[in-house]
Amino acid sequence: MVFVSQECKLASFSLQVYVTVMDDNDNDPRFVKGLYFKNIPENIAANQSILRVEAVDPDLGLNSQVSYAIDHNAEGLFRIDNTTGVIYTAG
């Protein structure tokens, strides 16, 4: 995932947030899209929904449930709903 601020072209930056899918079962979960990209205004308010990521796991029953987490490097900037995959600005 690459987040890019383009509010001011002279003062823009990009931040790559890597999401790792971990699984202990037979089938590996996979993200529905190979790459998620979103432009975020530099002055975006805290706790704003930015993007929803989605992964699916072909295992059966409880083993097919997916939960989401963001790498510690992005903490303080973003947070993710562990059930829905919605990414928010940190607040």
Q: Where are the domains of the chain?
A: 2-89
Task: Tell me which fold the domain 2-89 belongs to.
Answer: Immunoglobulin-like (2.60.40)
User: Strand pairing of 37-39 and 55-56?
Assistant: unpaired
Q: What is the pLDDT of residues 36-57, one digit of tens each?
A: 888 888 889 999 999 999 999 8
**Lookup: tokens for 85:** 């995959």
- Which pLDDT does position 12 carry in this prediction? 57
- Of the candidates 21, 5, 22, the one whose C-alpha atom is nearest the C-alpha of residue 78 is 5
Does the reported pTM lie above 0.95? Answer: no
pLDDT per position in the chain (91 positions), as tens?
444 444 444 455 666 767 666 666 678 788 899 888 888 888 899 999 999 999 998 888 888 888 888 877 676 788 899 999 999 998 7
Count how many residues are written for the chain. 91
